[in-house]
């Protein structure tokens, strides 16, 4: 099993280009199942989850081609299988996103209950509630969701009990081919949901309200071919910004969207970073200084993203002062704290809050990643720790970060992949 070997203590300095967004491309790949013509996607990141999604589409019967720039063409016209099996879904929760498109386009879907990162309960009840309201007959048995509908799905007014990104995406996709006008209230406002909606519009969907908590979808008879460019990854951008901040370095990230990172940039400025932004770039300079501790609370967009929580726990571990981070989105997302404590971090957990008293120096140690973003937090801590850190179970990091060791090395880090 691969590991990352990191020798800390070097400030990160340099420039990177943001990769395409993992959390946007996965639902957009699922959305290709709605079309009756080929869909071409560019700016696709080279990630394990993308490969898994492509394998799933192939098993359903879609024809896929990929060029050397990771531009993917998906031809869904040959889809003749409608089951997303456990062996794929258990490794990637986003596989649940084929449920809505298969049901809307073909009238039947059989999807294993999802797996993915072990960060707490992420039920699919909102997906099922919405699809049932749109006329689907759904059974859950033997670990599978089996859904069918006679003819087209029917429009409905859907009021979600809680803000759910995958639930919003699944119901949004299903509604594009439903008969009538569907309204989704308390919808997720995340930029990746907006990106999915923009791609669906490019395919011929009629959607209003993107970026708000109320989506209005007027169903159309068919969706057609398009070429769509995936948005840049705001979480990857934020992670590299924190990497520069935690090491006292400076970085410029290009081909990104500063407007999607307002909450993260604000906290980095509170930590002492000097930040400049342009239309598609962000420059951060710590001027060699140790960061200041910050207080934050995760929340659905436009609040502070839960996917940046672990990175800021690592930052607070070496910051001046005492910082508190409260996690409100997932109930089991502090598993990285025990590993940071092995490196000398002084962190106390009180319920869903991590209280950190920053130390001047962490010490390298063998640590184990427990989920995708926890992996990122441990790597950031290793970059600033004295000595050698061995990060195990990095298959998690490969799900969401493209060639992370190469990109960090380009910034001056001492990091390599070992067996």
- Alpha carbon separation from 142 to 59, 91, 129, 347 (Å, rounded): 21, 18, 19, 41
pLDDT (tens digit, 9 = 90+) per residue, 34-70? 999 999 999 999 999 999 999 999 999 999 999 999 9
Model confidence at 378: pLDDT above 50: yes
Determine the average pLDDT of the residues in 143-171: 95
Q: How far apart are CA 410 and CA 251, in angstroms?
A: 11
Tell me the pLDDT band of 119, cut-offs 50, 70 and 90. very low
C-alpha to C-alpha distances, 404 to 253, 316, 400, nearest whole angstrom = 14, 22, 9
Q: Which two tokens stand for residue 377?
A: 């937090």
Mark 130-167 as b/e (b = at least 16 C-beta within 10 Å).
Answer: bbebbbbebeeeeebbbbebeebbebbebebeebbbbb
Higher pLDDT, 333 or 120: 333
Q: Residue 153 and residue 136: Cα distance in Å, rounded?
A: 7
Q: What percent of the chain has pLDDT over 90?
A: 88
pLDDT tens-place string over residues 277-286: 999 999 999 9
Predicted local distance difference test score (pLDDT) of residue 114: 72
Question: Is pLDDT above 80 for 121?
Answer: no
Name the pLDDT band for 329 (thresholds 50, 70, 90): confident
- Whether 112 has a pLDDT exceeding 60, the answer reads yes
Say what the pLDDT of residue 116 is: 41
Residue with tokens 């809505």: 100
Q: Is residue 348 over pLDDT 90?
A: yes
Helix (H, G, I), strand (E, B) or coil at 177: coil
Rounded to whole angstroms, how far apart are CA atoms 16 and 263? 21
pLDDT at residue 294 is higher than 90: yes
More reliable by pLDDT, 339 or 114? 339
Element (H, E) at 65: strand 63-66
Indicate the burial class of 24 (C-beta count within 10 angstroms; 0-12, 13-18, 19 or more).
buried
Instruction: Please say if the pLDDT value at position 291 is more than 60.
Output: yes
CA 279 – CA 258 distance, rounded (Å): 7
How do residues 351-369 score in pLDDT, each as one tens digit? 999 999 999 999 999 999 9
Per-residue pLDDT at 98? 97
Tokens linked to 224: 């057609």
Q: Give 322-385 as a DSSP string.
A: EEEEE--S-TT--THHHHHHHTT-EEEEETTEEEEE--S--B--EEE--SHHHHHHHHHHHHHS
* Alpha-carbon 62 to chain mean position: 24
Could you tell me which residues are beta bridge partners of residue 391? 4, 367
Burial string for 350-387 (b: 16+ CB within 10 Å, else e) reads eebebbbebeeebebbebbbbbbbbbbbbbbbbbbbee
Question: What's the pLDDT at 120?
Answer: 41
117 is an active site residue: yes
Give mean pLDDT, residues 291-298.
98
What mean pLDDT is predicted for residues 104-110? 97
Residues in the chain, overall count: 419
Distance CA(379)–CA(374), nearest Å, equals 9
Q: How far from each other are the two terminal CA atoms of the chain, in whole angstroms?
A: 6
63-66, strands of its sheet edge to edge: 63-66, 72-75, 39-42, 226-229
Residues 6+ apart with CB under 8 A from 152: 104, 177, 178, 179, 219
d(CA 179, CA 382): 53
Nearest to 191 by CA among 171, 212, 170, 216: 212
Q: 414: burial class by Cβ within 10 Å (0-12, 13-18, 19+)?
A: middle
Residue 320's Cβ-count burial label (10 Å; 0-12, 13-18, 19+) is middle
pLDDT value of residue 90: 83
Q: Which residue has the higher pLDDT, 86 or 168?
A: 168
Can you tell me the mean pLDDT for 228-234?
A: 98
Residue 115 scores a pLDDT above 70: no
Catalytic site residue from 117, 149, 199, 260: 117
* Whole-structure pTM value: 0.95
pLDDT at 88 over 80: yes
On average, the pLDDT of the chain sits at: 95
């Amino acid at each position: 099993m691969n590991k990352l070997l990191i020798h800390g203590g070097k400030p990160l300095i340099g420039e990177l280009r943001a990769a395409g967004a993992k959390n946007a491309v996965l639902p957009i790949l699922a959305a290709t199942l709605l079309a009756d013509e080929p869909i071409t996607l560019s700016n696709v990141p080279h990630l394990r989850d993308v490969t898994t999604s492509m394998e799933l589409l192939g098993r359903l019967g879609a024809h896929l081609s990929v060029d050397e720039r990771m531009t993917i063409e998906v031809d869904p016209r040959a889809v003749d299988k409608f089951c997303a099996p456990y062996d794929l879904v258990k490794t990637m929760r986003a596989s649940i996103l084929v449920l809505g498109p298969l049901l809307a386009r073909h009238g039947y879907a059989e999807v294993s209950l999802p797996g993915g990162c072990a960060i707490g309960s992420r039920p699919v009840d909102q997906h099922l509630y919405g699809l049932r309201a749109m006329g689907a007959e759904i059974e859950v048995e033997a670990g599978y969701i089996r859904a069918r509908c006679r003819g087209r799905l029917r429009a409905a007014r859907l009021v979600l009990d809680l803000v759910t990104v995958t639930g919003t995406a699944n119901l949004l996709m299903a509604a594009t081919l439903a008969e009538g006008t569907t309204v989704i209230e308390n919808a997720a406002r995340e930029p990746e949901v907006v990106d999915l909606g923009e791609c669906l519009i490019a395919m011929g969907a009629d959607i209003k309200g993107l970026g708000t908590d109320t989506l209005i979808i007027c169903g159309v008879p068919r969706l057609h071919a398009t070429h769509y460019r995936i948005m840049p990854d705001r979480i990857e951008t934020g992670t590299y910004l924190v990497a520069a901040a935690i090491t006292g370095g400076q970085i410029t990230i290009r081909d990104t969207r500063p407007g999607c990172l307002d909450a993260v940039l604000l906290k980095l400025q509170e930590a002492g970073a000097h930040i400049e932004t342009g239309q598609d770039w962000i420059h951060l300079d710590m001027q060699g200084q140790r960061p200041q501790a910050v207080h934050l609370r995760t929340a659905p967009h436009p609040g502070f993203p839960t996917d940046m929580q672990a990175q800021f726990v690592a930052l607070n571990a070496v910051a001046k002062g005492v910082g508190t981070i409260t996690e409100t989105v997932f109930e089991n997302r502090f598993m990285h704290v025990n590993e940071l404590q092995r490196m000398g971090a002084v962190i106390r957990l009180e319920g869903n809050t991590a209280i950190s008293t920053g130390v001047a120096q962490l010490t390298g140690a063998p640590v184990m990643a427990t989920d995708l973003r926890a992996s990122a937090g441990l790597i950031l801590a290793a970059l600033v720790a004295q000595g050698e850190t061995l990060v195990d179970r990095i298959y998690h990091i490969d799900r969401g970060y493209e060639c992370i060791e190469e990109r960090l090395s380009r910034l001056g880090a001492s990091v390599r992949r070992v067996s």
